[in-house]
Structure 1
């Protein structure tokens, strides 16, 4: 009987110690979509255009204070131009939403899923993730910074990898001043 009580006491003590020293598990932080934004900028031979696009939903996972993963769904129907007004703004937005570019009727969302998160400093990370646009998934890498409840990143995306070929000199000859560069920029500011 004494041995049974000692065994139960020992098991209880070991279990208590194991739970006491277990590190905190993942901590999911939902993105505050109304306080977060993505600015896009596309370039052509004769200049550039820029605008915003909304995050539909997203989250970042942390283990203690270290980023471990994340996922974002982008509302492709929300793409707007901020450098034009009136008729030209409407035409550009309509064209960007058309099948020539992002085909938002058939592909209303884009998705970014973090696959590898490597710390490069106290608040900085190098992220490798899967980006899906127009149903095509490509690997992207970018730097990501976290400060308190805010985070930011800059990405350079090759649109032709996602079958967005309109105006690309990689696919069409003789475009001259109508050429649109293959890469565009995304500047992401998040709050969670």
Structure 2
């Protein structure tokens, strides 16, 4: 009886492993945009995907891992001196400290289908060495995946201009939440 039970467990494990498939996400064709908000306006730009993998079981999304190149932060709504200043400030220790933390990472911890092409994803997001859970919807059609994440920067020790950490900022407040809009190509 023990041999039969062990054989069934081994077969089930082998079958599950055989059905699991990892698909690399193209780092050159995928686009990741960000948008940050402040009193009286916003700024936006791009950031590069360093690596990405989505895991499937029988064509159903079950997991994923993504690494973002924080050194690639790029502002797209400004030009010249102002763009250079903002890019440098975002890379500095006031914001993302890319010299110390050159990458950010998200590892999916839970993936649940909500309909034929959409999943509710929860993952552990690490920015500046701080890890917190985030939940977002991911739509998947063919070789295209799209997701929008709303991230609270105060949870990752990104303090500059945050009313969560400083009083009397008045019109100099930079809101804690920023958006990441990912258009991924498999």
TM above 0.5, yes or no, is: yes
Q: Distance in 2 between matches of 1:46 and 1:172?
A: 18
What residue in structure 2 maps to residue 128 of structure 1?
122
Q: Does 1:48 align with 2:15?
A: no
Q: Secondary structure at the match of 1:34?
A: coil
Q: Does 1:141 align with 2:135?
A: yes
Q: Distance in 2 between matches of 1:159 and 1:169?
A: 12
Select 1:97's aligned residue among 91, 96, 105: 91
Select 1:172's aligned residue among 142, 166, 169: 166
What residue in structure 1 maps to residue 102 of structure 2?
108
Q: Distance in 2 between matches of 1:37 and 1:54?
A: 7
Select 1:85's aligned residue among 57, 63, 79: 79
* Structure 1 residues not aligned, in runs of 5+: 1-13
What residue in structure 1 maps to residue 178 of structure 2?
184
Q: Distance in 2 between matches of 1:93 and 1:133?
A: 17
Q: Which 4+ runs in 1 deviate beyond 6 A?
A: none
Two-structure CA RMSD over aligned residues (Å): 1.7
What residue in structure 1 maps to residue 3 of structure 2?
none
Structure 1 residue 97: Cα displacement: 0.1
**If the length of structure 2 is used for normalisation, what is the TM-score?**
0.91
Q: Secondary structure at the match of 2:28?
A: helix
Structure 1 residue 57: Cα displacement: 0.4
What residue in structure 2 maps to residue 5 of structure 1?
none
**If the length of structure 1 is used for normalisation, what is the TM-score?**
0.88
Structure 1 residue 175: Cα displacement: 0.8
Structure 1 residue 86: Cα displacement: 0.2
Structure 1 residue 170: Cα displacement: 1.2
Structure 1 residue 187: Cα displacement: 0.5
Q: Deviations over 1:139-166 (max 9, x none)?
A: 0000001000010000100000000010
**Number of residue pairs matched by the alignment:** 176
* Structure 2 residues not aligned, in runs of 5+: 1-6
Q: Bigger radius of gyration, 1 or 2?
A: 1
Select 2:69's aligned residue among 75, 81, 100: 75
